[in-house]
Amino acid sequence: MGKEKIVVIGGGFAGLNLIKKLDKSKFDILLIDSNNYHSFPPLFYQVASSGLDPASICFPIRREMRKGPVRGAHYQMGTVSKIDISRQTVTTQYETVSYDRLVIAAGTTNNFFSDKDLHKRVFTLKSTTEAIRCRNEILDRLERAAITHDAAKRRRLLSFVVIGGGPTGVEIAGAIGEMKRYILSREYPEIQQDEVTITLIEGSDRLLRTMSADASREAASYLGHLMVDVKLNLTMRSYEDNIATLSDGCEIYTEMLIWTAGVTGVPVKMEGTDLQRGPGQRYVTDRYNRITGLDNVYAIGDIAITTDDPAYPHGHPQLAQVAIQQARNLAHNLNAGSFDRQFIYKDKGAMATIGRNRAVADLKGIHLYGRVAWFAWMFVHLISLLGMRNKLTVLINWTWAYFSYSSSLRLLIRPDRYPLRSRWGER
């Protein structure tokens, strides 16, 4: 009784790290997320390529709530559809809850720019369920191609295009390239390597634009070794009837197009204010992560943008480290009861992997590549996973795959339909 109620929207890196650091004796904390688990987005591509089991990169939120730093906070499942600023309430499909302070850490979703219907025709990698969908589609196409005697049809089944040359695009293209180079001959002897085409399309003049030029050059070289065709300075104009039309007029036939070209803030209806979002549908905040124009409402992580930081005039990079550091800084200020510490981002570098023994890393002025960067990438991602079980499972899977090129996870498990019923709280 007498505690301020803080509602946190989103159980990602930002949301979970915030509630870990908030003083439970001062605040009544409620976390709302549409999933009852925390997922690890940097490894979605490994689920999509059958390298890891989905459970290995996800951790139950309610189990996390039992741990010391989080104990005392509460979790409720729901997708936030409306925030009423004047009434200080948050509404999901199940309920409406009130707050004294609100922290929006909902993250981002796929950005399809001007083509609003593109999501109906492409595959994406912004959630665990989307990664599972990609995995099933890739495996389904390999299995069907293995029993197809029509050479033309087999090539159509095995045509893959990835749009976007950022870390996600490079990593999923490299993972499919590894399957093409190392897995086909072992597990799909009916399929020839030259029947599989993998094309990566990037709109700028190099891959991994946010990393160094050396990293971009080495990433392109590694993708070449994995037989991935990289096309730079091109964007996709349209995608209809399995044909991707590029900005130069070139047409590429593909039955599986994976879209990784951009992100935008998760849409949430906001009433009681005429607040306009900033670039990328992100909430504009000051250097204390307070949303400009609103009282007691904050934004952290990918959905927040701070434009008055001289070091990052266009906003901080949308990375896990930014989200974690913002969460800890906001928790410090809320616990102190005064906003006396501005957020200053400490850049720890960036990295990307392009298959076995192939990775690039820019770490505080040090550039790593090849096997050294690959082991560094594995170590950083391993220690970042929640739960000792997940860490051990991932380590065992990576070790086994490293020495054997084999995986027991290439399982094509399709979801079945639910029986007709009325779900709780829904009409």
pLDDT averages per 10-residue partition of the chain, 427 residues: 90 94 95 94 92 90 87 94 96 95 95 88 95 95 95 96 95 94 91 96 94 94 96 95 94 96 92 92 96 96 92 91 96 95 92 90 89 90 83 82 69 76 56
Residue pair 263/285 in contact by the 8 Å Cβ criterion: no
**Burial class of 28 by CB neighbour count within 10 A (0 to 12, 13 to 18, 19+):** middle
Please tell me the predicted confidence (pLDDT) of residue 421.
62
State whether 256 and 272 are in the same domain: no
Residue with tokens 């796929």: 110
Residues in the chain: 427
**Inter-residue contact 381 to 392 (CB < 8 Å):** no
Domain count, the chain: 2
Contact 191, 142 (CB under 8 A): yes
Q: What is the CA radius of gyration of the chain?
A: 22
The single-letter code of the amino acid at 368 is L
**Claim to verify: residue 248 and residue 278 sit in the same structural domain:** no
Q: Residues 249, 269: one domain?
A: no
Query: Which residues lie across from 269 on neighbouring strands?
Result: 82
> What pLDDT is stored for residue 407 in this prediction?
63
pLDDT at 171: 95
Q: Which domain holds residue 323?
A: 4-34+78-110+263-336
Question: Which of 285, 309, 336 is the last residue before a domain boundary?
Answer: 336
* Domain-embedded: residue 15: yes
Residue 426, pLDDT score: 53
Backbone angles phi, psi at 77, to 5 degrees: -80, 140
Contact 89, 225 (CB under 8 A): no
Sheet with 159-163: list strands edge to edge. Answer: 123-124, 256-259, 159-163, 197-201, 229-231
What confidence score (pLDDT) does residue 416 get?
74
Contact 28, 7 (CB under 8 A): no
Q: Are residues 306 and 378 in the same domain?
A: no
Asked if residue 100 and residue 13 are part of one domain, the reply reads yes
Q: What CATH number did the domain enclosing 356 receive?
A: 3.50.50.100
Flag whether 48 is in a domain.
no
CB 44 within 8 A of CB 404: no
Any alpha helices (H) in 226-369, and if so which ranges? 320-336
Asked if residue 319 is part of any domain, the answer here is yes
Q: How many CB atoms lie within 10 A of CB 423?
A: 9
Classify residue 274: in a domain, yes or no. yes
Structure tokens at 125: 């990698």
Confirm whether 251 is domain-assigned.
yes
311: domain CATH number is: 3.50.50.60
Choose among 280, 324, 330: nearest CA to 304: 280
DSSP 158-185: TEEEEE--SHHHHHHHHHHHHIIIIIHH
Taking the C-alpha atoms of residue 372 and residue 359, their distance in angstroms, rounded to an integer, is 8
d(CA 192, CA 288): 56
- Ramachandran region, residue 360 (left: φ > 0; alpha: ψ -120 to 50; beta: rest): beta
Of residues 235, 333, 251, the one with CA closest to residue 287: 333
Residue 422 has a pLDDT of 62
Q: Is residue 50 part of a domain?
A: no
Match 């979002």 to its residue by tokens.
277
Instruction: Verify that 177 and 272 share a domain, yes or no.
Output: no
Q: Which residues contact residue 168 at a Cβ distance below 8 angstroms, ignoring those fewer than 6 apart?
A: 44, 45, 125, 260
Tell me whether residue 273 is in a domain: yes
pLDDT score of 389 = 81
Do 134 and 23 lie in one domain? The reply is no
Question: Is the domain of 370 the same as that of 329?
Answer: no
Distance CA 169, CA 147 (A): 29
> Same domain, yes or no, for 242 and 273?
no
End-of-domain residue from the set 309, 336, 363: 336
Model pTM score? 0.91
| Pair (308, 371) in one structural domain | no
> Is the domain of 251 the same as that of 296?
no
**Which three-class secondary structure state does DSSP give residue 319?**
coil
- Are 122 and 104 contained in the same domain? no
The angle that helices 13-21 and 320-336 make with each other, rounded to 10 degrees, is 30
Burial class (CB in 10 A: 0-12, 13-18, 19+), 140: middle
Residue 54: inside a domain: no
